[in-house]
Amino acid sequence: MKTLPFALRARARTPLFLAPQAGVSESPFRRLCRSFGADVVLTEFVSAEGIVRGSGRTAHYLRFDDEERPIGIQIFGADPETMAEAASLVTEVYGPDFVDINFGCPVKKVVKRNGGSGCLRDLELVGRIVRAVVAATPLPVTAKIRSGFDESSRDPVAIGRTCRDAGARMVTLHPRTRADMYSGQARWDEIAALVDALDVPVIGNGDVRRGEDAHRMRERTGCDGIMIARGSHGAPWLFHQARAALDGRPVPGEPDTRTRFEICIRHAENAVAFERDGDKAVREFRKHLGWYTRGLAGGRRLRQRLFQVRDLSEVREFLGRYLASAGERGCSGLAGGFIVTGSRANPDPLRGPPAGR
């Protein structure tokens, strides 16, 4: 039997998973989340066709460090033979701990090619894809699903059983349909129903935004693990909070602004070091800057500047000025030589000192 490389159904410890997210779950973010307590991480979802064609861009998404283990590579596609070939290649070339199949992505450009949640319109196809991938790799194969393509096809238990019967060793459920996208509330009762229906581990995903949410999900559903996705955006410390809640310990509060910026800079530096093109890395990191500065007083003005930064020095400069305007002192020890500039007297610290000084 192809066993998973992490403990499940032991009940002693509920593992926390970082979800596969395009443009978010890059190696620097995976490592950061691991440092805050994520037990298992997955790559961004990767096109099976891109893998088979030998796309350089696709290969970039597949890179990972050993410190990220246990890690799964998630692939998507609608052709069983191509999916099988892709699974074989990633097993041989990259050697992840497991291969995950994406049956959940709701993005139009994926669905229109029948990939991701598009496959849920045809459960026979879902079964053929899982069987083909299982036959192609000695690694455990898992599946991430939604509750259906739309409300009329909503049947997460049937979808989960199809994956299990075809050989999936674990099923992750995001209890929304493709038509739901990310609207409304995730139906956690469907996770509970899937747990009752399957004899393989079930991972719950959806609407875990606070540490306490992870505890509530486990108690309400009996799930074997918890996957965190959008809640981690600009908040990798959510894994630390979730672990405390699951272990019955006091849940730490949100980090102060200075600490939040330290983590942001650490993340940005690792992103630039990981990406061969530093300028591109900074441009792509702008979305993270938006997330790290959510909820801050004057955050909108700060983000207007941050969304135009071209290098790390500008990131440090704008964040440093913001801290100075808020009265934060003694910040020279921040990651990457983060130096605070500006002063409380400056009415707009993001613009620098007034003219004539």
* pTM > 0.75: yes
Q: What is the pLDDT of residue 10?
A: 52
Q: What is the pLDDT of residue 164?
A: 98
Q: Where in the chain is the domain with CATH 3.20.20.70?
A: 16-246
Task: Please state the rounded mean pLDDT for residues 89-109.
Answer: 90
> Model confidence at 112, in pLDDT bands (50, 70, 90)?
low
Q: In this model, does residue 356 exceed pLDDT 50?
A: no
What's the CA dihedral at 291, 297, 300, 305 to 10 degrees? -80
Q: What is the pLDDT of residue 287?
A: 96
Q: What is the pLDDT of residue 91?
A: 96
Q: How many angstroms separate the CA atoms of 150 and 285, rounded?
A: 33
Task: For the chain, give the mean pLDDT.
Answer: 88
| Window from 80-84, 105-109, 299-303, 311-315 with minimum mean pLDDT | 105-109
Q: In this model, does residue 352 exceed pLDDT 50?
A: no
Distances (CA, A) of 230 to 53, 58, 159, 208, 331: 30, 23, 24, 8, 29
Annotated active-site residue in 105, 119, 223, 264: 105
Is-catalytic flag, 331? no
Residue 37 · residue 240 · CB < 8 Å: yes
For the domain made up of 16-246, the CATH class stated in words is alpha beta
